[in-house]
Amino acid sequence: MRTRPLKVLHVLEKSLPDTGGYTIRARAIIENQIKLGMEVVVVTSPLMPPEMVKGEVETLFGVKHYRTNHIPVPDSARTRIGRYVTRALMLYRYRKALTKIVTQEKPDVIHAHSSYLNALAAVPAARTFGLPLVYEVRTLWGESAVIEDGLKVDSWRYRMVWRLELSAMRNATAVVPIAVGIRDELARKGVPLGKMTVVGNGVDSSKFVARPRDAALATKHGLDGKFVVGFIGTMRRLEGLSTLVQAFAAARARRQDIALVLVGDGPDKPDLEALAKKLGVQDIQFTGTVPHEQVAAWYSVMDVLVYPRIRATINERVTPLKPLEAMALGKACVASDVGGLTELVTDGETGVIFEAGNHEKLAQALEGLMDDRARLAKLARQGTEFVHRERDWSAIIPRTRELYERLRGGAARA
Flag whether pLDDT at 352 surpasses 90: yes
> What is the rounded average pLDDT of the residues 279-305?
92
Predicted pLDDT of residue 20: 79
Q: Are 387 and 205 in contact (CB under 8 A)?
A: yes
pLDDT in tens, 111-162: 999 889 999 999 999 999 999 999 999 987 666 665 566 667 677 777 888 8
pLDDT in tens, 30-87: 999 999 999 999 999 999 999 999 999 999 999 999 999 999 988 877 788 888 888 8
pLDDT in tens, 202-222: 999 888 889 999 999 999 999
Domains of the chain: 7-199+397-409 (3.40.50.2000), 215-390 (3.40.50.2000)
Mean pLDDT of the chain: 91
Predicted pLDDT of residue 143: 64
More confident call, 313 vs 252: 252
Predicted pLDDT of residue 21: 79
User: Global pTM?
Assistant: 0.85
